[in-house]
Chains A and B, each alone.
Chain A
Amino acid sequence: MLTRFLEITRDRINRPLQYYQDICVRCGACMDACHFYAASRNPAHIPAQRMMLVRKALQGERSWLNWYRDADRADGRQVSEIQQAMWECTGCRRCATFCPFDLDTALLVSVGRYALMNEGTGLEAETGHGMILEIGNAEISKGEIIEDLKEFYIEQVKLLEKRVQDEFAPDLQIPVDKKGAEILYVPLVGEHATVPAAKIFHAAGADWTMSLFTATNHSFFVGDMARAKQAARLILDEALRLGVKAIVYPECGHATRTLLSFFENWFGEEIAGIERMNLEPLVASYLEQGKINVRAGAVDTPITYHDPCNLGRNGGFFEEPRSLIRAVASEFRELEPNRALNWCCGGGGGLIAVPEMKETRMQAGNEKAEQIRRTGAKWVVTACENCKTQLGDLNEHYGLGVEIKGVTDLVADALIL
């Protein structure tokens, strides 16, 4: 059992991962940091135990000293535990923040997911993670159809542009496929990821163009880095073809992580001349440099901010979204804890796309729901699409009575032209 899983895991265990497994002293500091374990008390959710399960399975394979060591044969029970340990994780890296050695369970989870996916035991159907693969494949297929679709796509963007002109500014433009533009903005599916950005770029007088693609990269969630790179290549090729100076990613945590942490590694020299950034820090810089102006106190509803794991803990953008919120909202209340110690919403790691995971997500979001309730805020603002969907589901599930918004929604609504 688990032959392929073990083969691939062994193959992909690099030095840091080997080091993580060897150095963990089982101190338990990571235990209560994990929102899954905090809600379930299921040992397979303890971050160190997630690593231990893989380690035991590997040892069971290769050592004749099994009877003496803590090795374990890969039996049915173990398979199901490993499956839980790998899939019921949002890759938030909160555990690593609490670990005295910074051991990064999420890195092993990424390898473990990829290995499980290749095991081909039909686990895809059980965990529903086949859906993540399906979306990842569609993202790559887009590259093959985009030329045929381009004209139709641009026509549709023009219709959207007309609507935004009517409601906001008659001279606003949503350029697509514009050669020589400074910024290539890569949106998400949904007007909410296009319209606020278009308003802000317009107000700032930015020279921008919108991508024909979207920023999400679902292959990344299953640790399939070869396919993740294939999807990212579509964006790089577009940026090179248009000759832009910068690629800007939207309010999407995992996509921003691929852009800021992986593009350089994947594309080296090819990407060297192109700046990469997330929309939040860019908009914060517009405000700081006076390129945009907003109505101070435009929002007087009590408001709180959820740090998306991939933007905050894993990206270092803590103050930029706060500076934008403070500029427009008069009553900002912090979640406790916040910034690097913020609780994950429970929807990351691709779980939002897996319908079978809904109940698990709601359970794992318990800490988040309580944090929000304690603030008494009426609006919860964040800067990641997955977080927005999960927070919306938590709102319903826990009866929080809040509204969920994006940071750029707030800014766009308060712009002074």
Chain B
Amino acid sequence: MAEYTVESTLDARGLNCPMPVVRTSQEIKKMSVGGVLELLATDPGSVADMIAWCKSTGNELLDRKTEDGVFRFYIRRVN
């Protein structure tokens, strides 16, 4: 993994729409600026949603990977 430490992990698996974005947004706001959130999802739709959310809010998507059918995203809080 790249050189960052995860400050908080959010499991968005099985959440109804639009809860993955809502929970991520809430969680990020609780974290320190520069902190990294790890997000877990299994659904392709939430992948696209999260990346779009990062783009529109200016938060930084550091990394993404797939392990055993679970997607992991690493998002840095920018502001």
On whether the beta carbons of A134 and B66 are closer than 8 Å, the reply is no
B12-47 with Cβ < 8 A to chain A: 14-22, 25-26, 42-47
On whether the beta carbons of A189 and B43 are closer than 8 Å, the reply is yes
Tell me if A163 is interfacial: C-beta within 8 Å of chain B.
yes
On whether the beta carbons of A157 and B44 are closer than 8 Å, the reply is yes
Tell me if B11 is interfacial: C-beta within 8 Å of chain A.
no
On whether the beta carbons of A131 and B56 are closer than 8 Å, the reply is no
On whether the beta carbons of A149 and B43 are closer than 8 Å, the reply is no
Segment among A140-148, A287-295, A308-316 that sits at the interface with chain B: A140-148
On whether the beta carbons of B17 and A134 are closer than 8 Å, the reply is no
A192 to B52, CA, bound (A): 21
User: A134-B57, A189-B18, A216-B17 given as contacts; is B51 within 8 A of A156 (CB)?
Assistant: no
A252 to B42, CA, bound (A): 21
On whether the beta carbons of A138 and B47 are closer than 8 Å, the reply is no
On whether the beta carbons of A138 and B46 are closer than 8 Å, the reply is no
Tell me if A112 is interfacial: C-beta within 8 Å of chain B.
no
A91 to B8, CA, bound (A): 36
Among candidates A142, A214, A353, residue contacting B22 with C-beta atoms closer than 8 Å: A353
- Most B-side CB within 10 Å, residue of A152, A189, A388, A389: A189
B20 to chain A, nearest CB (A): 6
**Per-position binary interface string of chain A over residues 144-167, scored 1 when its CB falls under 8 Å from any chain B CB and 0 otherwise:** 111001001100110110010000
On whether the beta carbons of A194 and B52 are closer than 8 Å, the reply is no
User: A149-B51, A190-B45 given as contacts; is B21 within 8 A of A135 (CB)?
Assistant: yes
- Most A-side CB within 10 Å, residue of B18, B42, B47, B49: B18
A298 to B13, CA, bound (A): 28
User: A156-B71, A188-B17, A189-B20 given as contacts; is B52 within 8 A of A145 (CB)?
Assistant: yes
**Per-position binary interface string of chain A over residues 207-247, scored 1 when its CB falls under 8 Å from any chain B CB and 0 otherwise:** 00000111010100000000000000000000000000000
Tell me if A85 is interfacial: C-beta within 8 Å of chain B.
no
A271 to B24, CA, bound (A): 35
Tell me if A187 is interfacial: C-beta within 8 Å of chain B.
yes
On whether the beta carbons of B51 and A189 are closer than 8 Å, the reply is no
Report the number of A-B residue pairs with Cβ-Cβ less than 8 Å: 99
A177-199 with Cβ < 8 A to chain B: 187-194
A212 to chain B, nearest CB (A): 7
Interface of B is mostly: helix
Chain B residues with Cβ below 8 Å from A388 are 16
User: A138-B53, A141-B55 given as contacts; is B48 within 8 A of A190 (CB)?
Assistant: no
Chain B residues with Cβ below 8 Å from A385 are 16-17
A134 to B14, CA, bound (A): 21
Chain A residues with Cβ below 8 Å from B48 are 142, 145-146, 149, 153, 212-214
Chain A residues with Cβ below 8 Å from B14 are 190
A62 to B26, CA, bound (A): 41
On whether the beta carbons of A355 and B43 are closer than 8 Å, the reply is no
Q: Which residue of A lies closest to B47 (CB)?
A: A156
**Per-position binary interface string of chain A over residues 301-343, scored 1 when its CB falls under 8 Å from any chain B CB and 0 otherwise:** 0000000000000000000000000000000000000000000
A263 to B58, CA, bound (A): 30
A218 to B49, CA, bound (A): 13
Q: Which residue of B lies closest to A390 (CB)?
A: B16
Tell me if A88 is interfacial: C-beta within 8 Å of chain B.
no
Q: Which residue of B lies closest to A211 (CB)?
A: B45
On whether the beta carbons of B55 and A189 are closer than 8 Å, the reply is no
**Per-position binary interface string of chain B over residues 46-79, scored 1 when its CB falls under 8 Å from any chain A CB and 0 otherwise:** 1111011101110000000010010100000000
Q: What are 14 of the A-B contact pairs (CB < 8 Å)?
A: A134-B57, A138-B52, A138-B53, A141-B53, A142-B52, A152-B47, A153-B47, A156-B66, A187-B45, A189-B17, A190-B16, A190-B17, A193-B17, A214-B49
Residues of B within 8 A of A (CB): 14-22, 25-26, 42-49, 51-53, 55-57, 66, 69, 71
Residues of A within 8 A of B (CB): 131, 134-135, 137-142, 144-146, 149, 152-153, 156-157, 159-160, 163, 187-194, 212-214, 216, 218, 252, 353, 355, 385, 388-389, 392
